[in-house]
Amino acid sequence: MVLVTTIDFLGKWSSNTIRGERTAAIVVDRHTLIECGPHTVESLLDLKIDPVDINTVAITHMHLDHFVGIAEFLWYRAIYNSEDTPVILGPHGLRKNIDSLIKATMTPESFQIKMDVREDVNYENIQQFRANHVIDDNGYRIETSDGVLFYSGDTAYSEEVVKGSEDVDYLFHEMTYTDLQDKEAKFWKHSTVSDVLRVFSESKAVNLVPMHLSVKSLEACREMTRKNPNVISPERKSLRF
């Protein structure tokens, strides 16, 4: 049997919460988790992926919709007696903020919370690139046996993101706003449709997957997929290289 790299979608949404949507996150080959927002554990279980089997977590930044699920993730592993220690990647301050979250959630002293936190470093097949957001945010370039993907995190247009996504097979880029919402996008340092298409063009990525959507940008995403077969909707369940 030939093994093929799989990318499973746990969610595609931004912090503009609506019923029926979960925050943007993906899993690569069922063991590398990108982002860990609210209900990420439930999303993993819905796909029959045991959080105990996740060995690497890459968090782009520490806003609620990307980060707070890490407490539930670590609780789950403690409750089910995971013997392994997951590597957790992220920007500077990650360890301090995880520790604060563990304390704030009154984690029982009997829980064995295991984690190997690494800040602002590359790790094995994962390379980090600094994005352009209102707080420190790392995008991740991930090389697999079948191809390469880049996950932007939250960002305005960024030359570092273009560099990180150069020639990748799949560019997962946040697209929170439409072009008509350019003012809001600039204020919050997010991307519009035009920003995303610019990165897609300049990086020479093969395929684009818009992420971190809102009601208005979802409609724009659907229109993009109708016009360009290399723009892929995150409404699907998974991708394969």
Residue 4 has pLDDT above 90, yes or no: no
Domain-embedded: residue 88: yes
Using 50, 70 and 90 to split pLDDT, how confident is the model at 3? low
Domain-embedded: residue 15: yes
**Cα separations (Å) of 35 from 4, 38, 136, 223, 235?**
22, 10, 14, 26, 17
**Per-residue model confidence as pLDDT tens digits over 108-166:** 999 999 999 999 999 999 999 999 999 999 999 999 989 999 999 999 999 999 999 99
**Per-residue model confidence as pLDDT tens digits over 41-70:** 999 999 999 999 999 999 999 999 999 999
Mean pLDDT value across the chain: 96
Instruction: Tell me what percent of the chain is helix, strand and coil, each rounded to the nearest 5.
Output: 30, 25, 45
Domain-embedded: residue 129: yes
pLDDT of residue 241: 86
Residue 86 has pLDDT above 80, yes or no: yes
Domain that holds residue 80: 6-240
Domain-embedded: residue 136: yes
User: Which residues are CB-neighbours of 231 under 8 A, at least 6 positions away?
Assistant: 207, 208, 209, 210, 221, 224, 225
**Per-residue model confidence as pLDDT tens digits over 191-227:** 999 999 999 999 999 999 999 999 999 999 999 999 9
Domain-embedded: residue 1: no
| CA 11 to mean position of chain CA atoms | 9
Query: Do 14 and 24 meet the contact criterion of CB atoms below 8 Å apart?
Result: yes
pTM over cut 0.85: yes
Q: How far apart are CA 134 and CA 99, in angstroms?
A: 22
pLDDT of residue 100: 98
Q: What is the CATH number of the domain that holds 147?
A: 3.60.15.10
Query: Do 89 and 56 meet the contact criterion of CB atoms below 8 Å apart?
Result: yes
Count the Cβ atoms, other than its own, within 10 Å of residue 201. 11
Q: How many domains does the chain have?
A: 1
